[in-house]
Structure formats: structure tokens, C-alpha cells
Amino acid sequence: MSAKKWFSVLAILVLASMIVTACGAPATPQVVEKVVTQVVKETQVVEKISTQIIQQTQVVTQVVAKEDFTTPDPILSDVKVRQAIALCTDRAGAIKSVYPFVTDQKALLMDTFLTKTHWAYGGPYLPDLSYNPDKGKALLDEAGWKLAKPDDTYRTNKNQETLAVKFTTTDAQFRQTWSAVVEQSLKGCGIQLLRNFVPASWWFGSTSGLQRRDFQLGAYAWVGEADPKGQTLYSCNQIPLPSNNWVGQNYMGWCNKTASDAVIAANNTLNKDERKKFYNIVQQEFVKDMVSLPMFNRVEAEAWGNNFLGLKPDPTEYGTASVEQWSLKNNKTSLVIGFSQEPASMYAIAESAAVQREVNDLVFGRGYTQFSYDYQPWLFELSTLENKLATNNMVDVKAGDMVWNTDNKPEKLAKGTRIIVKGAELTYDGTSALQLPQLVVTYKMKNPLTWSDGKPVVAADLQLGYKQDCNKDSGALDYTTCDATQKAEFSDTGEVVTYLPGYQASLYFLGPAFSIYPAHEVLKDGRKLADVPAKEWSTLPEIAELPMGYGPYMMTAWNKGQNIKLTVNPNYKPAPKIKDITIVIIADTNQAKAQLLSGDVDWLEKATLGADFGDLITAGKAGKIGIQVIASPTWEHIDFNLFTK
């Protein structure tokens, strides 16, 4: 080989190496592919001269290898096909298959990831993807999926490939039932649904199923909340991939920059009107792109005897939150409530079960309620920027200062610290002047609170709550608020909390920030509660079994496995109209329903009934009891995985 040819080959190899080094994996695949092809052809000539050059070309090929789940799905990557699937899905029929007793099935239908009664819902949104098989068929024709012959069952494309999509969900009978309806309705449009039912342990596993995006169409449920959140579900940087160790819950692989920017902004502003504006943008894009089809809200119900008045059934709140409105007819003064489970403990910061929270409402009340996907003050004001109980001013920060980082953790500001600045993520360079927003919130009692022993709630009680909640020996389930607190000050009317710069929690306005405990209480062993080490609290009878409260009722007895007895707190205002409450533990739902119908129980809360209440609807129509069916915040949906391996 001539020297001229040798240097020509070597130059090409160096050029290929420079392109890969400079551009890395993000380089345009088509351009790099041309270079690689050219290098391989030229190296065939010099193969005997240098093994090292051959090895370099192998490195080039590895660098540009495609990552799993970056290849568009051959069917679902087409938005017309996704919209057609939505239009051809008989969601009302699916609802009827699992809830035949629900007459108003339209009330369970959603068109975005928020229910229509949510404060952040701004619809209806277009295009309208309600059941319309004719429109769905027309979209499939446009997308190139047609019935080759009039009597064909399923559509094919120009390559004679069948329009078949794999549908994965759990093996629960509930989903098997409604997905059978979906299969039949899609078949009517010429779409073949291949149903695959798997164990929940695999479907929701940390190294399988959804988390590894091992599906084409996937059905499961999310639980709606008053705070929409959504950043981990719909932002571009939350798509699980091998390269990010499968972090995130955007299982669809949906990266719409408009929607992504909006959902991040919605979670990084504290102004409610701004949040509504941003969530409206996300919902518009969500419906237009049709990346996840909301099927329906699940249903639940509250059922009560005709003597019980004032209960407020609600999708996002416990019935016990309406305790101030309760009363009984016919001169009755004692109420009986049926629970299918009982609390493990009354130590609230270490026990999160719904039944514990409901009993807690009766004994302590709560700072706020959350009826109808929104928030209302109860014992504390809502401390908003708008009512001046909170401020969010920009402050100077420098290297070495504690700030709140993008991982929702406190960190000393230093080079490499990741923080949110003006709604965007920034990596601190270690030297630049920087300003971050700092929340200072005054959590204020609406009215003075009084313990059931007649002593007023004072600053020492709030301070003890802060001390106990934030002690790492307390057994608390979460320390985020404590970790985010720079300073806390207490008075007899509330507390003022200064949060770390950069901490921008959307629910900042809900107080109190910490628990409240009776610092003056003397235990049976002679010690004051304030002097007891944090690690002992979970076993204290005065905390875990019969705590002193400042709410509407006092716990007087807890007979484990049988009942909990409560009586009126004489110091609570307004004074409850019902004198005594007994919570009976009835593990068997059929027995609980029988006791309601016989009048031995006055109320069965929604967790006790679950979805087993069809027979009570008949009793309600006959006037024997009161019952209200509720569109639960839990909603079933089908995700479209836009990419394949």
C-alpha cells in the first residue's frame, strides 16, 4: 500500500474517532452510521497492518448502539391509532360490567388525569374521545390500517401485518371482567387485543412489569389527590430507561416539551391560579396526544341508618371530618360506627392507617379538611400567600448555606448542588451569586384550643410536637417537613416556620406543621410527658392507647378487637350534639351490613364496605337506610407505551 493511501485511511479513522468523542451518544445516528460504514470499508485494506485500528472501529460501533425503549412502537407511536383505540373503547360498558348497580355511569368517566370536580380541571378538552367507533374506524383507515376484505375481522397494514396490541394487567377478577368488554369493543373496530394477566407482584415489582416498561398497553390505577402533583408521571426527565437506572413513573415514554415544562412549572409555583393555568396546559396536551386512556373512577359508598344526620360523604375526605355537623333523631344520644379494622396504635406520626386517622379526627380534630379535591380550614387557618399568613421572598445564598435541593433533601450549597431556580433545574457552579425563594409561614389557630382535662393548648405543647416529630428516634414515617425547617417559633396561638431556601412545597399552607402534645400531662409512672425520651413514646399507653386530645371527643376505653368508646370533650366548641360514640370492630362485611339493616350500627364507613354494597343500594331505594355511592379518587386507566425494545 502506498503511503498516501495509508495516511488517507488513518485520517478517516481519526475523523471518526473525533466525531464520536466530540458528540457522544447524542450525535445524530444517521451521520455517525455513515462514518462507521466508511471506516469499516477502508480498514479491510489495512487489516493485516494494524489490529489496533480494527479495535477502534469496534468502539465506534458500541458508542452509537441504540438504547432500549428509544425505538418507536410500530403501532402505538401513531397518534391516530392511539386516538382510534380511545374512540373504539366502550368505557361505559366496562363500568357496567363491574358496577351494574351504578345508574349514573357517566359520573365515573374521566377525560384527563383529573376528575371533573377537581379544582385544577379546566375541561372539557378536545378532541372529544368519547365512545365513537365510526370515528375510530375512520382514523384507522387514515393511519393505513384497513380491512383487506369486507368479511375480515381484524385490520392489516400494507405489509399484511395484523393490527394486534398486547394488553397487560393484573390477574384480579375485577380487571379481567372490564378488560373483556374492552376486547370486544376494540374487535368491533378491527383491533385485536391480546390480553395478558400477570401477578400483581410482577406487574408492580421494582425490577419487572411497569417499572421496566415491559408492556404495550398496560392497565392499572392511580389515586387522585387534592394536590395534583404529576411531575414524576408526565415530565420528560421521568421516563424510566436503562441509562437512568429505571428512575421515574412516566411509563408511557411521553416526552411532550410543552406538557413537561408545564407540569414542572405547576409543581414549582405556590400561586393557585398559576398552578391551574399550567395544569390546564398539561391536560390539553395529555388529551391531544392520547398517551393514557382514563377508563373510570372506581366506586365506594357510605351507608348509614335513618336516625343519623349530618354525615358528609366525599371522595377525598373521611366521614369523620364532618363530625361537627352530626346529630341523631328520636332523642338518641349514642352513635355506633362499624369498622372492619382497628388502629394498630393511636401514635399518629408512626401509624398511617385510615382507621387511625378517623379516630384521630374525633379525638384531635385536624388543622384542615380536604373535601371535594380542595382544602378548607378546620382548627387552623389556611396560611396562604394571598391572606398574608405566608411570605415567599427571594434571599441571598452562598456556598456553605443549607438549601433544599432537587432531590427534596437539605444540602450545603456547593459546586454541583442541584437546585430549582425560577422553575428550572440549575447545577450550582460554586461561586456565582445566587438567590432562592424562602417560605416563612405563620400557622394560626382559628380559635383557642383546650385539652380534654381543661388546660389550654399553649406554646409548650406545640414546641413538644416539633421536638418529638423531628427526633430521629420518634419512629416517624416521614421527616421531610422537619428536614426542610430552618427555624420554628411557637406561641399560644400557633407557630411560625421558616423553611430552607429553595423549599417550595405546594401544600405549604396546611397547618399545623407539627403535632401538638400535652406537655403538662403527668403519666401514670409519675413522669411528665415532656421529659420522656422520644424512643419510648410508641409504647406509652397515654400516647398509643388513650391519648389526651383537644378535639370533639375523648377516648375512654379501647377493648382491643372489640370496640373503642368515646365521650364528649366538654371543652370543645362548638359542643357536639351526640354524647357518646362506640366504634365496633366487625371484620366480616356481610355481618356489618346485617347490623346496619337491623339498627345495631348507625354508620358503615367506606373502607368497611369496600365495593361490596350492591344489596344496600336496594335497601336504600326502599327507604330502610341512607346510602351514597361515591366516585372514588382511585381511577383505572390504560397506558400506551410509545416505545419498544
State the pLDDT at residue 290: 98
Is residue 146 located within the same domain as residue 215?
Answer: yes
Is residue 130 located within the same domain as residue 193?
Answer: yes
State the pLDDT at residue 350: 86
State the pLDDT at residue 344: 94
The yes-or-no verdict on residue 18 having pLDDT over 70 is: no
Is residue 149 located within the same domain as residue 237?
Answer: yes
Is residue 560 located within the same domain as residue 609?
Answer: yes
For 335-389, the pLDDT digits (tens) are 999 999 999 999 999 888 899 999 999 999 999 999 999 999 999 999 999 999 9
In residues, how long is the chain?
645
- The three grid cell numbers given for residue 139, joined into one nine-digit string: 382514523
Mean pLDDT computed over 162-179: 97
State the pLDDT at residue 67: 83
Identify residue 180 by its one-letter amino acid code: A
The yes-or-no verdict on residue 299 having pLDDT over 90 is: yes
pLDDT exceeding 70 applies to what percent of the chain? 90
Select from 485, 504, 507, 483 the least CA-distant residue to 496: 485
Beta strand 376-377 with 494-499: parallel, antiparallel or unpaired? unpaired
Is residue 370 located within the same domain as residue 385?
Answer: no
Angle between helical axes of 51-63 and 29-43 (0-180°, round to 10): 160
The answer to whether residue 89 is domain-embedded is yes
The answer to whether residue 118 is domain-embedded is yes
Residues whose CB falls within 8 Å of the CB of residue 386, separated by 6 or more in sequence, listed in order = none
State the pLDDT at residue 301: 95
Interatomic CA distance for residues 633 and 297, integer angstroms: 7
Domain residues for the domain of 173 are 71-297+636-644
- The three grid cell numbers given for residue 311, joined into one nine-digit string: 354525615
State the pLDDT at residue 407: 87
C-alpha dihedral sign at 133, 135, 140, 144 = positive
DSSP class per residue in 536-568 = GGGG-HHHHTS---SSSEEEEEEETTTEEEEEE
Please report which confidence band the pLDDT of residue 103 belongs to, taking 50, 70 and 90 as the band edges: confident
CATH number of the domain where residue 586 is located: 3.40.190.10
551 in Cβ contact with 563 (< 8 Å): no
The yes-or-no verdict on residue 523 having pLDDT over 50 is: yes
State the pLDDT at residue 25: 33
Other CB atoms within a 10 A radius of the CB of residue 1 amount to 11
Is residue 500 located within the same domain as residue 607?
Answer: no
Could you tell me the CA-to-CA distances from 256 to 183, 249, 283, 642 in Å, in that order? 29, 15, 12, 12
CATH number of the domain where residue 253 is located: 3.10.105.10
Domain boundary residue, one of 510, 540, 570: 540
pLDDT exceeding 90 applies to what percent of the chain? 83
Is residue 563 located within the same domain as residue 527?
Answer: no
Interatomic CA distance for residues 70 and 78, integer angstroms: 15
DSSP class per residue in 219-238 = EEEEE--SS---HHHHSGGG
Mean pLDDT computed over 521-539: 97
Fill in the DSSP letter of residue 199.
Answer: -
The answer to whether residue 629 is domain-embedded is no
The answer to whether residue 491 is domain-embedded is yes
The yes-or-no verdict on residue 169 having pLDDT over 60 is: yes
Select from 238, 275, 278 the least CA-distant residue to 254: 238
For 37-72, the pLDDT digits (tens) are 332 332 333 233 233 333 343 433 334 347 888 999
Half-sphere exposure at residue 300, Cβ-oriented, CA atoms within 13 angstroms: 19
The answer to whether residue 398 is domain-embedded is yes
Is residue 229 located within the same domain as residue 279?
Answer: yes
Identify residue 141 by its one-letter amino acid code: D
Identify residue 312 by its one-letter amino acid code: K
State the pLDDT at residue 247: 93
State the pLDDT at residue 441: 98
State the pLDDT at residue 107: 87
Domain boundary residue, one of 40, 63, 86: 63
The yes-or-no verdict on residue 134 having pLDDT over 50 is: yes
- The three grid cell numbers given for residue 24, joined into one nine-digit string: 457522544
Instruction: Specify the higher pLDDT residue, 285 or 11.
Output: 285
The answer to whether residue 545 is domain-embedded is no
Other CB atoms within a 10 A radius of the CB of residue 160 amount to 7
Is residue 85 located within the same domain as residue 229?
Answer: yes
State the pLDDT at residue 108: 94
Is residue 154 located within the same domain as residue 291?
Answer: yes
The yes-or-no verdict on residue 587 having pLDDT over 80 is: yes
Q: What residues are paired with 634 via a beta bridge? A: 223
Q: What is the mean pLDDT of the chain?
A: 89
C-alpha dihedral sign at 560, 564, 570, 572 = positive
DSSP class per residue in 62-126 = HHTPPPTT-EEPTTTT-HHHHHHHHHT--HHHHHHHH-TT-S-GGGG--SSSS-TTSTT-----S
DSSP class per residue in 249-312 = S-TT----HHHHHHHHHHTS---HHHHHHHHHHHHHHHHHHT-EEEEEEEEEEEEEETTEE---
The answer to whether residue 484 is domain-embedded is yes
Is residue 286 located within the same domain as residue 417?
Answer: no
The answer to whether residue 302 is domain-embedded is no
For 269-281, the pLDDT digits (tens) are 899 999 999 999 9
Domain boundary residue, one of 540, 564, 598: 540
Is residue 384 located within the same domain as residue 370?
Answer: no
The yes-or-no verdict on residue 306 having pLDDT over 80 is: yes
DSSP class per residue in 497-516 = EEEPTT---TTTTSS-SS--
Task: Count how many domains the chain has.
Answer: 4
